[in-house]
Amino acid sequence: MEMEKAPRGRPRRLDKEKILEIASNLFWQQGYEATSINELVTAMGITPPSLYAAYSSKEELYLAAIDRYSASYGRQMLSGLALHSCVYEALRTVLYECVEVFVGGDHPSGCMISTGLVESSNAQGALARKLADLRQQTIQIIADKFKSCETQFVEGTDLQALASFFGATIQGMAVQARDVNCPTELHKIADHSLSVLQACRRF
């Protein structure tokens, strides 16, 4: 008896956006160095060759995950700067959006950029510098907002240093989110830091 031939067809198309989402959550939760290729492909349900066909290396996949994070959560956190002409309301919105990202939603707590590769081996120096640059970019974006609202500040206020203070506040909130995962506590930190901004304001 002739055996029935199995149907032939094209291989299932790889969903790059889906595997990037899975990779992003793993990197966000565990960090770059602690996340292995084996963990990635197991979570994605694919083989290593399929992963490397989509992303040539673990480093490339991580950079794509960082870009994805910046374009979504990073933009969300800084959206308040464009929404408000009042510098106090702008920064309050930024800090509260940070809380929403750090402890809200169906994703790991904390911030993928604030806490990513702060300590790393020399082999990951380029990736660590990438994240450091992104953290500095955030500070500069805040500084630019302050400078555009310079008339709202007491004369002589060091706006660059003030922006660095809020950058450090955001990074500290990201760490605290991983430790306690409590929005109430993070809102308290945000409100206390805003009292520093209030003391620098002319109106």
Looking at residue 120, what is its pLDDT? 59
Q: What is the predicted pLDDT for the residue at 114? A: 87
Output the six-digit token pair for 2: 């002739």
- CB neighbourhood size of 143 (10 A): 18
pLDDT recorded at residue 11: 44
- Scanning the structure block, which residue is given the tokens 């595997």? 19
pTM for the whole structure = 0.88
Q: What is the per-residue pLDDT for 9?
A: 42
- Residue-level pLDDT at 70: 95
Question: 2.60.40.2470, 1.10.357.10, 3.40.50.300, 3.90.76.10: which CATH number matches 16-200?
Answer: 1.10.357.10
Which residue type occupies 89? E
Give, for all 203 residues of the chain, the pLDDT tens digit. 333 443 444 445 678 889 999 999 999 999 998 999 999 999 999 999 999 999 999 999 999 999 999 999 999 999 999 999 999 999 999 999 999 999 988 899 999 998 777 665 566 788 988 999 999 999 999 999 999 999 999 999 999 999 999 999 999 999 999 999 999 999 999 999 999 999 999 97
Tell me what pLDDT residue 15 has: 82
Q: What is the pLDDT of residue 194?
A: 98
